[in-house]
Amino acid sequence: MRTNRVYKVMNRPLTILGAERRLFFVALLAGAGIFNLVHSLVGGVLLFVVGLIAAQRATKFDPEILRILLNSAKFKSRYDPMKWEPLEIRIKSNV
């Protein structure tokens, strides 16, 4: 019988400062964009920090959240029985 070792490091998502690397890059580009457009270092840093906090929370919720959000536009919405709304039926009388 053959056994293979599996290390925890191989199953962890790639993160930078606790945020998934693609989300970190989005926050970094948004901060740089504000810095270039508004010429405000404080605004760029502030937007980067807010984006980084949002990215950290999203990564903590689900490390693959960006892939899920980007792929969700490709699929049709499905029927959800928990979002049931009653249907009003009217019966007309012939009298």
Question: What value does the mean pLDDT take over residues 73-90?
Answer: 73
Using one digit for the tens of pLDDT, what is the confidence trace for 3-13?
888 787 777 77
Where do the domains of the chain lie?
Answer: 11-74
- Coil, helix or strand at residue 28: helix
Q: Beta-strand (E) ranges in the chain? A: 15-16, 19-20
**29-48 confidence digits (pLDDT tens):** 999 999 999 999 999 999 99
Predicted local confidence at residue 28, as pLDDT = 96
What pTM value is reported for the model? 0.64
Q: Please tell me the predicted confidence (pLDDT) of residue 39.
A: 92
**Tokens 């070792």 sit at which residue?**
5
Phi and psi, residue 54, nearest 5°: -65, -40
